[in-house]
Amino acid sequence: VNYDAGNVMDYLDLDPIPDIKKCAAEVRSFCVKDHRNWPKDQDCGPGFGEIDHYRLLEPVAFTGLTMPLAYENIFAPLIPRPAEAEQIDALARRAREFMETVIAGLHSS
């Protein structure tokens, strides 16, 4: 399973945290993005939305598996997407660093 918490929250209107606990044994990769239901129903980059990525990754963090993280969305919600390559690169770095921080935090506890 390639788990997509943003789609679970958006299309199924479910909290992805209890959902991933049901299928964690089947998860082999992640489609990384976040989602907000308020003030606008919108996908966004990790850390900009309502999904707690620490709780999301915890059920699979200690399986011993190497799981690819495919970043589907890196953008901030509510504001126009940047037009300059440097701004997009900065958001990509931010998304990667956010997820690296989450993973490091899980493995240090």
Number of other residues whose CB lies within 10 A of the CB of residue 94: 16
pLDDT surpassing 80 at residue 84: yes
Record the pTM.
0.94
CATH class of 2-108: alpha beta
Nearest partner of 5 among 25, 19, 23, judged by Cα: 19
- Report pLDDT digits (tens) over 1-45: 999 999 999 999 999 999 999 999 999 999 999 999 999 999 999
Sequence-distant (≥ 6) Cβ neighbours of residue 30 within 8 angstroms: 2, 3, 4, 5, 57, 67, 68, 69, 70
Sequence-distant (≥ 6) Cβ neighbours of residue 95 within 8 angstroms: 32, 45, 46, 47, 71, 74
Beta bridge partners of 69: 30
